[in-house]
């Protein structure tokens, strides 16, 4: 059987069409999700560790935080850990992306007849899907521990999708970092920063409970408005202002790092 040359095979596909973009993105998204489902590190960071953390925080710190803050600790801890699961899961897969870059896998995908933007797009879609699964799991565990949605069905849906939207912005930054030559080192430093953010946010206690000099830092970091939005959607309270702040962070991540992610991915894949 005669084998068609690569150029002939590529000519039958319009690599710039919307249809090719959608098909290529879905194909690569399935590849990523299938691979992540077989990697213990991703499963631990996305599902096992966050679930363990939620249960331990509730058992060990729940009563203390509730007495100190005057509100049920679950309504702050569950949003906090859902965001942490999204961030640390994204960092884990980002480090795996640096390995794909170094091993030449990105370059091999680059010569296939796929839409050029599908590489980055599939990463973002896969990260959003992974975060959706981890958030739903955490909500189910939270309900078993006493968490309840008090603002209706649509507020519950919005609650689940806040970490998903947050992940898209955060993953854009992670992809932009992962495709540079020193990406792995930078991502490891970023994971340390994210770990520090665990202790300085509004998930445990409101911002006004922190020392006055620390309150601006707690209020300004990106996790706090997302946590406040999710708390408001679950139990009631201000939603519009923290939601707008959360969307501003997401748009800011995409606007600043989106172009860098696309250019860096193209450069890493074409080398």
pLDDT for position 209:
82
pLDDT for position 4:
47
**How would you write the pLDDT of the chain (271 residues) with one tens digit per residue?**
444 444 444 444 556 678 777 888 888 889 888 888 888 878 888 888 899 989 988 888 777 777 766 677 888 899 999 999 999 889 988 888 888 777 777 767 666 667 667 778 888 999 999 999 999 999 999 999 989 999 999 999 999 999 999 999 999 999 999 888 777 889 989 988 888 888 888 888 888 888 888 889 898 899 999 999 999 999 988 899 999 999 999 999 999 999 888 888 888 776 6
pLDDT for position 179:
85
Residue spans of the domains in the chain: they are 18-270
Q: Token digits for 79?
A: 């949003």
pLDDT for position 52:
92
User: 57-63: long-range contacts (C-beta < 8 A, 24 or more apart)?
Assistant: 57/81, 58/145, 61/204
pLDDT for position 10:
45
pLDDT for position 242:
95
pLDDT for position 230:
96
pLDDT for position 14:
56
pLDDT for position 131:
94
pLDDT for position 9:
44
Instruction: Give the whole-angstrom CA distance, residue 96 versus residue 88.
Output: 13
DSSP secondary structure string for all residues of 85-154? HHHHHHHHHHHHHHHHHHHTHHHHHHTSSS-TTHHHHHHHHHHHHHHHHHHHHHHHHHHHHT----S-HH
Residue in 93, 91, 97, 57 with CA at minimum distance from that of residue 77: 57
């Amino acid at each position: 059987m005669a084998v068609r040359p690569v150029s002939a095979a590529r000519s039958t596909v319009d690599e710039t069409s919307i249809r090719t973009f959608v098909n290529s993105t879905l194909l690569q998204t399935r590849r990523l999700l299938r691979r992540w489902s077989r990697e213990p590190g991703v499963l631990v960071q996305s599902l096992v560790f966050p679930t363990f953390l939620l249960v331990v925080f509730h058992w060990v710190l729940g009563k203390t935080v509730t007495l100190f803050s005057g509100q049920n600790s679950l309504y702050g801890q569950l949003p906090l850990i859902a965001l942490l699961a999204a961030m640390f899961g994204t960092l884990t897969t980002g480090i795996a992306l640096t390995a794909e870059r170094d091993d030449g896998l990105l370059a091999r995908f680059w010569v296939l007849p796929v839409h050029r933007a599908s590489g980055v797009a599939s990463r973002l879609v896969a990260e959003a899907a992974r975060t959706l699964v981890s958030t739903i799991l955490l909500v189910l565990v939270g309900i078993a521990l006493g968490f309840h949605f008090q603002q209706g069905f649509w507020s519950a849906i919005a609650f689940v999708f806040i970490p998903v939207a947050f992940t898209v912005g955060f993953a854009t930054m992670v992809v932009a970092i992962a495709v540079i030559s020193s990406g792995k080192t930078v991502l490891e430093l970023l994971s340390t920063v994210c770990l520090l953010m665990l202790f300085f946010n509004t998930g445990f206690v409101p911002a006004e409970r922190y020392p006055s000099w620390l309150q601006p830092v707690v209020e300004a970091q990106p996790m706090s408005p997302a946590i406040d939005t999710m708390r408001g959607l679950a139990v009631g309270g201000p939603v519009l202002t923290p939601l707008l702040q959360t969307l501003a962070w997401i748009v800011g991540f995409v606007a600043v790092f989106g172009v860098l992610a696309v250019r860096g991915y193209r450069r890493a894949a074409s080398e």
